[in-house]
């Protein structure tokens, strides 16, 4: 009986293989991959705001519920992590505002347009370069829109096609431009696209992650994505061949108006210079003897993590770089730092930059296309793992990064198939050894089992999608609008009255 049961398993595993779709790729056409980053798109927005297109992506491909970003959870550093596979201490983009003590240079959003900020480590390259330089094909080209760092040459290379960041360019336009680049004739089209949209981050800062404005922005992005899917589906070549990843750099958390830590109340502003954001700061202290004095005054402040450089926790992977300060500060969720010169009248209702283990800092991740499994939900992986994933999808030579291919291979169709093939191979090898000891009755049994297996195969083929699907454990939080008498004219409140979710 054990043998028969065994055979049923073998034959039915086989049905998964017969149901797998083989992607249509010829040696002349390199693999196609579009990477979409929607700045500040928190992992749970599609559930909270019931975004139909985003939620439909689970049937079409894979959803990874939690991406653990690298630390600090800020836009420029994380976009460089996503596209290079390295933690921030290794690639050197350690903030949106930085100081480099080696060149005595400072830079912020507007002037991070110099190669030196992005190429501190000359061995680290964005994947758009790796794609362009791969020697296996005449038709590899990368197209990049507004991705931080794409406006400067790295090791002498710019993306084949690129458009700079522009607040006037909506996500709809960005997506349509990327589609046009993929849609061109083989001789000119791109095979890798990396595009950036700012809307979800801007609304998150201005109105908070839980607000009717955020609802509006996200439903607009949902519509934009839906239009892109229609364009792809209407093109038989792209529908069959284009792989798409929809993700983001970080999440977003509410900021309370009265939760400010004003550095001038604790330390003498003439003794240091601070670079970073309202959530984290790198303090550069010219006189070493002042480090302990400043540290002593700062270390008792509630809701603030304070570290001397050597004490920054290992898990942040944010320490071994000259651009990280002598003292490093990062706030607990909901709190802001006001440093000297900061315009205190400027109010934001949402922020990011905090501990990368905080779930509100986690962004979305969806992937679909010929390389990816379908109807699959996976718990988590890290931003540094994107590079090995994309590198594999693009069939590039393996490059050592801080990411791990082992962490991501489970979402690839190819590996799912190989896994099962290996299992079957092992099972069949064991079975054939045993067959020699079998008698007449067993052989008859074997034949009937094979017939049963065939029937199973047909049935399993029809239901294979359901079998692969992993049910979500996540219960979305329900929201209702606050009425004016409850002290607000706008904003959502979680109906389970979690005080943290109320915005004033």
Cβ of residue 399: shortest distance to ligand NAG, in angstroms? 9
Would you give the DSSP letter of residue 351?
E
CA angle 148, 154, 159 (to 5 degrees): 65
User: What is the nearest approach in angstroms of ligand NAG to the Cβ of residue 224?
Assistant: 13
**Residue 19 or 271: which CB sits closer to ligand NAG?**
271
**How many Å apart are CA 488 and CA 254, to the nearest integer?**
15
Residue 348 or 490: the one with the smaller Cβ distance to ligand NAG is 490
Considering the complex, state which of residue 237 and residue 469 has its C-beta at the smaller distance from ligand NAG.
Answer: 237
> Quick one: tokens of 81?
């992590």
Q: Residue 42 — φ and ψ, nearest 5°? A: -65, 150
Tokens of 94: 């350690």
Token digits for 228?
């892109």
Query: Could you tell me the smallest distance in angstroms from the CB atom of residue 269 to ligand NAG?
Result: 8
Tokens of 31: 């693999």
Task: Show Cβ contacts of residue 280 under 8 Å, excluding neighbours closer than 6 positions.
Answer: 72, 74, 95, 328, 329, 330, 331, 337, 353, 354
Report the candidate in 10, 67, 11, 72 with the shortest Cα–Cα distance to residue 408.
67
As given in the structure block, the two tokens for residue 134 are: 């791969």
The Cα–Cα gap between 6 and 26 comes to 38
2 CB neighbour count, 10 Å cutoff: 6
Q: Which is nearer to ligand NAG, 206 or 446 (CB)?
A: 206
Q: Is 418 one of the catalytic residues?
A: no
Residue 128 or 333 having the CB closest to ligand NAG = 128
According to DSSP, the residues that pair with 350 across neighbouring strands are 254
Q: How far is the CB of 131 from ligand NAG (least distance, A)?
A: 10
Question: Residue numbers of the site for ligand NAG (CB under 6 A)?
Answer: 24, 26, 86-87, 90, 110-111, 113-114, 133-135, 166, 168, 212, 215, 219, 236-237, 240, 267-268, 271, 293-294, 297, 317, 397, 402
Q: Which of 472, 475, 481 is nearest to 210 (CA)?
A: 481
Q: Which of 53, 73, 75, 84 is catalytic?
A: 75
Q: What is the 3-state secondary structure (H, E, C) of 13-82?
A: HHHHHHHCCCCCCCCCCCCEEEEEEECCCECCHHHHCCCHHHHHHHHHEEEEEEEECCCCCCHHHHHHHH
Rank residues 357 and 426 by Cβ distance to ligand NAG and give the closer one: 357
Q: Would you state the structure tokens that stand for residue 482, as one six-digit string? A: 């606050």
User: Shortest gap between Cβ of 502 and ligand NAG (angstroms)?
Assistant: 15
CB of 2 to ligand NAG, least distance (A): 43
From the CB of 374, what's the least distance to ligand NAG, in Å?
17
In the complex with ligand NAG, the residue whose CB is nearer, 26 or 429, is 26
Q: Which residues are catalytic?
A: 75
């Amino acid at each position: 009986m054990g043998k028969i049961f065994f055979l049923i398993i073998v034959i039915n595993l086989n049905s998964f293989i017969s149901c797998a779709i083989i992607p249509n790729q010829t040696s002349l056409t390199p693999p196609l991959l579009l990477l979409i980053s929607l700045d500040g798109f928190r992992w749970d927005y599609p559930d909270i705001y019931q975004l139909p297109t985003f939620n439909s992506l689970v049937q079409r491909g894979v959803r990874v519920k939690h991406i653990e970003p690298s630390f600090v959870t800020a836009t420029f550093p994380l976009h460089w992590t996503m596209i290079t596979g390295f933690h921030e201490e290794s690639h050197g983009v350690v903030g949106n505002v930085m100081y480099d003590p080696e060149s005595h240079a400072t830079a912020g959003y507007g002037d991070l347009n110099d190669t030196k900020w992005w190429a501190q480590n000359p061995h680290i390259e964005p994947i758009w370069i790796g794609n362009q330089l791969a020697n296996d094909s005449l038709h590899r080209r990368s197209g990049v829109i507004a991705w931080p760092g794409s406006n400067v040459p790295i090791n002498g290379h710019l993306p084949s096609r690129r458009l700079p960041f522009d607040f006037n360019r909506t996500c709809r336009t960005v997506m349509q431009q990327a589609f046009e680049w993929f849609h061109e004739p083989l001789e000119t089209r791109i095979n890798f696209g990396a595009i950036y949209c700012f809307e979800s981050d801007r609304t998150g800062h201005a109105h908070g992650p839980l607000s009717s404005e955020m609802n509006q922005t996200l439903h607009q992005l949902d519509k934009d994505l839906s239009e892109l899917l229609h364009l792809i589906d209407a093109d038989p070549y792209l529908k069959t061949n284009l792989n798409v990843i929809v993700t983001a750099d970080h999440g977003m958390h509410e900021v309370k108006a009265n939760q400010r830590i004003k550095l001038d109340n604790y330390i003498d502003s003439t003794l240091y210079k601070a670079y970073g954001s309202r959530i984290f700061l790198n303090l550069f202290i010219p006189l070493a003897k002042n480090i302990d004095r400043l540290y002593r005054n700062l270390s008792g402040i509630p809701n603030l993590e304070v570290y001397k450089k050597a004490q920054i926790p290992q898990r942040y992977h944010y320490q071994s770089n000259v651009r990280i300060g002598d003292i490093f500060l990062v706030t607990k969720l909901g709190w802001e730092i006001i440093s000297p010169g900061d315009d205190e009248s400027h109010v934001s209702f949402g922020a990011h930059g905090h501990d990368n283990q905080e779930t509100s800092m986690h962004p979305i991740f969806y992937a679909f296309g010929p390389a990816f499994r379908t109807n699959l939900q996976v718990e988590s992986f890290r931003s540094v793992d994107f590079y090995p994933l994309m590198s594999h999808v693009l069939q590039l030579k393996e490059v050592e990064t801080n990411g791990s291919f082992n962490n991501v291979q489970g979402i690839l169709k190819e590996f799912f198939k190989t896994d099962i093939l290996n299992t079957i191979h092992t099972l069949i090898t064991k079975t054939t050894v045993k067959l020699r000891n079998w008698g007449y009755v067993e052989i008859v049994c074997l034949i009937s089992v094979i017939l049963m297996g065939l029937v199973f195969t047909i049935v399993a083929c029809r239901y294979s999608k359901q079998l692969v699907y992993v049910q979500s454990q996540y219960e979305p939080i329900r929201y209702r609008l606050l009425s004016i008498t409850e002290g607000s004219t706008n904003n959502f409140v979680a109906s389970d009255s979690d005080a943290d979710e109320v915005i004033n």
